[in-house]
Amino acid sequence: MFDNNQPQSGIQTLFGPNGNVSAVVGSSPNTFAVIGSGDHDGVYFRNGNIVSGPDGMHAVIGDSPIKTVFDPNGEAHAIIENGSSGTVL
């Protein structure tokens, strides 16, 4: 979901900081749907280091499995992705 170097099609599971689990379904290299994350559910589009969706624009910083994502409110979150799963800190 947040990695430009990985194929985006398929299903990925993200584990949140409060024990929640979300499914990310990629339908194309730059389009994916988030399901099960409450306020963040919906279709998202990625263009370079910007991800836009129903909750606003997110900036993705980093090019390794560990990235920093700034949400629309300016809060920073660490994302660790490993293939079909990931963790949001």
Task: Convert the pLDDT of each residue in 17-37 to its tens digit.
Answer: 878 888 888 888 889 999 987
Position of tokens 């994350």?
A: 37
CB burial of 20-33 (b: ≥16 within 10 Å; e: otherwise) equals: eebebebeeeeebe
For the chain, the domain total comes to 1
| Residue 34: domain span | 10-88
pLDDT at 4: 55
Structure tokens at 68: 């920093």
pLDDT of residue 65: 86
pLDDT at 56: 94
Asked whether residue 5 is assigned to any structural domain, the reply reads no
In a domain, 37, yes or no: yes
> For the residues 38-52, what does the mean pLDDT come to?
90
Is 40:51 a contact under the CB 8 Å cutoff?
Answer: no
Question: Which pLDDT score is estimated for 89?
Answer: 84
Q: What percentage of the chain has pLDDT greater than the value 70?
A: 90
